[in-house]
Amino acid sequence: NAGVTQTPKFQVLKTGQSMTLQCAQDMNHNSMYWYRQDPGMGLRLIYYSASEGTTDKGEVPNGYNVSRLNKREFSLRLESAAPSQTSVYFCASSRKPTGNSGNTIYFGEGSWLTVV
Amino acid sequence: KQEVTQIPAALSVPEGENLVLNCSFTDSAIYNLQWFRQDPGKGLTSLLLIQSSQREQTSGRLNASLDKSSGRSTLYIAASQPGDSATYLCAAMNRDDKIIFGKGTRLHILP
């Protein structure tokens, strides 16, 4: 059971280049998320998808686009990368636990993106 | 719009002390609240999950409480140890499945 898999793990881009971060989960979760993490800023939600075929803006959506390709996959695209988008990106998926314990959200290992 | 705030941003305490980390949220219509731990350069580890109908959860030396009416949650760590040094994050899940994180509290336990 792989959980949440995101690629690439590391990427260096030049300003103005485009790229897509890929994310897939094998837990049959309805909801998927993209966050960015910068020093001292916690995790900030970029976009999320509550179900296949739907996407919604989070806290910091500008400069990004997303695609919920199917229930398993949720990609994040930077159309024209800027140095301000240098960050660590985390993909996640979630379920709503029905019991009194358990985890809500499961994370990928992170993608370190540098824009020069 | 849900906003999650964590106070303090950083905390240093001597080993063995009990401590409390605070988390507040603006929209009380949450589905659940979860506490995570993150070590430098690593991903997030889930610590405790509190459903909206619950008031607290306990795991070992950790106890998390939830007061929806006041929009607050606390994480209590008993008998702190140097291995507890990490960043602690709280996250509120809304009923539309949006999950918003606080900025975290950086905890340093002094040996």
Name every chain B residue with its beta carbon within 8 A of the beta carbon of A96: 31-32, 93, 97
Quick one: average pLDDT of B28-42? 90
Binned at pLDDT 50, 70 and 90, residue A41 comes out as confident
CB contact under 8 Å between B98 and A102, yes or no, is: no
Residue B96 has a pLDDT of: 83
Which of A41, A59, A102 is opposite residue B49, by nearest beta carbon?
Answer: A102
For residue B92, the chain A residue with the least C-alpha distance is A104
Q: Which residue has the tokens 């998390």?
A: B64
Q: Is the pLDDT of residue A102 over 60?
A: no
CA distance A61 to chain B (A): 14
Q: Does A39 touch chain B (CB under 8 A)?
A: no
Which of A23-37, A89-103, B38-52 shows the lowest mean pLDDT across its residues?
A89-103
Binned at pLDDT 50, 70 and 90, residue B23 comes out as very high
Residue B29 has a pLDDT of: 87
Kindly report the three-state secondary structure assignment for every residue of A30-84.
Answer: CEEEEEEECCCCCEEEEEEECCCCCCEECCCCCCEEEEECCCCEEEEEECCCCHH
Those residues whose C-beta lies under 8 Å from the C-beta of residue B88, and which sit 6 or more positions away, are B6, B21, B35, B36, B37, B38, B47, B75, B104, B105, B107
Q: Cα separation of B91 and B105, whole Å?
A: 12
Binned at pLDDT 50, 70 and 90, residue B31 comes out as confident
Binned at pLDDT 50, 70 and 90, residue B79 comes out as very high
Residues of B with CB under 8 A from a CB of A: 6, 9, 31-32, 34, 43-44, 46, 49, 51, 54, 57, 89, 91, 93, 96-104
Q: Is the pLDDT of residue B20 over 80?
A: yes
CB contact under 8 Å between A43 and B101, yes or no, is: yes
Binned at pLDDT 50, 70 and 90, residue B34 comes out as very high
